[in-house]
């Protein structure tokens, strides 16, 4: 863990609620899981690539507000911190993300995982209602 934020991504638990979209309507909740943040970050890096501004945007939203919803073409995922005390400032969130990307870059994982031809082209991020 680098300086600037209290926990590493593997120590931050998030709840993932997955729902399919059929005929423009959300289905019932399909799955709910609790995973470490680094697992979901790897998943999104594979789908979007390391340089995606969307990825940075919703990770910062998740870490600063505690929850975010990410809409893909056929499904939506709601991500929320299991422990809201894991929230950090936007500067800390960006530093955490940058360090995560640097770590997977140094390990060579990013080169093996990312296929930009399969990257998602559109994501709609909804901030939480106040």
DSSP states of 83-128 as a string? SGGG---HHHHHHHHHHHHHHHHHHTHHHHH--GGG-----EEEPP
In a domain, 47, yes or no: yes
In terms of residue numbers, what domain contains 30?
A: 9-115
Percent of the chain exceeding pLDDT 90 equals 33
In a domain, 126, yes or no: no
User: Please, what is the average pLDDT of the chain?
Assistant: 80
In a domain, 122, yes or no: no
In a domain, 42, yes or no: yes
In a domain, 93, yes or no: yes
In a domain, 100, yes or no: yes
Q: How many structural domains comprise the chain?
A: 1
pLDDT: which is higher, 63 or 20: 63
Look up the pTM and report it.
0.73
In a domain, 3, yes or no: no
In a domain, 109, yes or no: yes
């Amino acid at each position: 863990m680098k300086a600037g934020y209290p926990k590493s991504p593997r120590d931050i638990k998030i709840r993932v609620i997955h729902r399919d979209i059929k005929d423009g309507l959300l289905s019932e909740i399909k799955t709910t899981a609790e995973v470490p943040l680094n697992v979901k970050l790897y998943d999104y890096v594979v789908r979007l690539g390391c340089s995606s501004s969307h990825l940075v945007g919703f990770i910062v939203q998740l870490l600063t507000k505690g929850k975010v919803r990410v809409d893909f073409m056929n499904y939506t995922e709601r991500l929320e911190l299991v422990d809201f005390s894991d929230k950090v400032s936007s500067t800390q969130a960006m530093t955490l993300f940058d360090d995560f990307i640097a770590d997977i870059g140094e390990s060579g994982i990013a080169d093996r995982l990312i296929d930009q031809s399969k990257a998602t082209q559109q994501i709609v991020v909804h901030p939480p209602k106040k």
